[in-house]
Amino acid sequence: MPDVLRQVYQWLKCRGEAYTLSPQPIQPPDMKTPPALHLTGIILVCLTATALPGADDVDLGQRTKFSGVWKGFTVEGRGENPDRGPVKLELTITEKTMKGLEFKGTNVVNHGEGEYVLDLGQDPKYLDAWKTNENGRKQSFLGIYSLEGDTLKWCVSPRKTRPTEFRTGDGGFLLILKRQKPAEPKTE
């Protein structure tokens, strides 16, 4: 399955809107096209998008910018004090997944690993992530982000509403993270 198609499907699934094809599609009274044809249209758009020169390159290029280890905090308010906050975090981001650790004194809480999707066409840009928790339930995190140099601001909510501004409150929380430089290789 092409990456874009997989991402769209995962995004729809994350939002609870993924379609299942059935032999007898349910047709709302005001809709003349069965849902299966709408899904076919979405698939065709996705396949076309992957055929466009550079379509995957833009997403891959942006995902490459995210790759690395990021450390920081969940901050209060709008992040007036970005170097401290109630929760100290470390995110390890690859081109396809995100893994989170929380540091509580000498204890480390593993928040698990999951996938993420970017939407560069929004202002501010979207960064949504999801994982399956230990009970087998899908957990979604809708967010907006700003990436400036080695600073990532991600305002995210575990609720079904996306934050509209970069601040902690109303069920959302603002993370301000700094990219960690890779360890220098040891020379002998």
What are the extents of the domains in the chain? 3-52, 64-179
Question: In the prediction, which pLDDT does 41 show?
Answer: 34
CA angle 167, 108, 90 (to 5 degrees): 45
Which comes out higher in pLDDT, residue 158 or 152?
152
Mean pLDDT estimate for the chain? 76
The percentage of residues in the chain with a pLDDT greater than 90, rounded to a whole number, is 47
The pLDDT tens digits for 99-117 are: 999 999 899 999 899 999 9
For residue 124, whether the previous peptide bond is cis, meaning omega lies within 30 degrees of 0, is: yes
64-179 CATH, one of 1.10.730, 2.40.50, 2.40.128, 1.20.120? 2.40.128
| 68-85 pLDDT tens trace | 999 999 999 999 988 889
Single pTM value for the model = 0.67
Spatial separation of the C-alpha atoms in residues 185 and 52, rounded to whole Å: 39
